[in-house]
Amino acid sequence: MTPDQQALVGLAAEILAARTSNDQLASLERSPERWDAALWKELAESGLVGIALPEEYGGAGLGLVELCLLLEQQGRFLAMVPLWETAVAALLIAEGGTDAQKQAWLPGVCAGTVRLSVSPALDGSDGLVTGPFDALVLVEGSSVVLAGSIDATAVESTTHQLAYDVVAASGEPLAVTAERVQDLVRIALSAVQLGVADAGTREAAQHLTGREQFGRSLATFQATQQQLADCYCDVQAMRATVGQAIHTQARLDVDVAVWWATDAGERIQHVVQHVHGGLGADVTYPVHRRLLWTMRTNALLGGPSRQLVRLGAALV
């Protein structure tokens, strides 16, 4: 990373770490809103929400690389804010919106007063829209609509956050392709999944180092070392393929990154749960949230088997 990118990651980690303790997340999960409005405000005031948006609308004018570094931190800290949804939808408006659409939505996004979401119509996904949101970028067949009038029903999601089943939505066309919407969503969710997996692997290693059995640290047993080594290798493969997808934004590279994110991401969290023993099954202990986030992301993306079907079709 460049020095500016390192500073970005450091700032995001500092803000998120201060507001995502186990007690704070548990409290949010019991609240009716299911998201952290105070954290959202702080992220906006620090300039992070609009990091990839043009400076003329209040953004930082950076790119997809910096946005995905930020989203990785969201996954690392399991931050309950509509960050990836708003950032992706706003980037699509910046790319394909009219001047009126940009002026109507982007300054509010940068200021933290507007929240957006996106419904990319991915094959195999559960079709739910994560939120909360004030407007929605919606794929309808081969066209894309920016909908400000939305009829949606809130439903419980696996992460204790609210998701929404969109009954009806109306708005104006957005000059981007359905494939572009889908690819940006898939890259963003892969970056979030990378953060979840990396942090889970490191937390499992810390846990094993601090626990003893037969007078020895659990981290010195070959079986646990091999399992965590495999997780580490999976995380590095996820990081490499996400980086490739960000830099080329080619459909095949995105497919590869999403397969690693869904397949390795799920495998890593099963290992993390397992090596925590009984604590992994205790919902008052934080480790279970990583598995829930991973399964929710897989549901949004359609799961690893769907990605192999896409890759197979592309290769033949």
CB 300 within 8 A of CB 186: no
Does the domain spanning 180-315 belong to CATH 1.20.140.10? yes
CB 44 within 8 A of CB 60: no
Q: Decide the pairing of beta strands 135-140 and 116-119.
A: parallel
Q: Is 81 left (phi over 0), alpha (psi -120 to 50) or beta?
A: beta
The CATH code of the domain at 3-176 is 1.10.540.10
- Residue 114: what pLDDT? 96
Given a cut of 70, the residues of the chain with pLDDT beneath it are: 158, 212
Q: Name the β-bridge partners of 152.
A: 166
Residues of the chain with CATH 1.10.540.10: 3-176
Q: pTM for this one?
A: 0.95
CB 197 within 8 A of CB 234: yes
Residues of the chain with CATH 1.20.140.10: 180-315
Q: Name the β-bridge partners of 149.
A: 170
- Residue 280: what pLDDT? 81
CB 225 within 8 A of CB 231: no
Whole-number Å distance between alpha carbons of 40 and 80? 9
CB 121 within 8 A of CB 147: no
> How many C-beta atoms lie closer than 10 Å to residue 151's C-beta?
12
What tokens were used for 153? Answer: 């029903």
Whole-number Å distance between alpha carbons of 293 and 301? 12
CB 128 within 8 A of CB 146: no
**Span 249-276, pLDDT tens digits:** 999 999 999 999 999 999 999 999 988 8
Element at 150 (helix H, strand E): strand 143-156
- Residue 27: what pLDDT? 92
Q: 309: which residues sit within 8 A by CB, 6+ positions away?
A: none
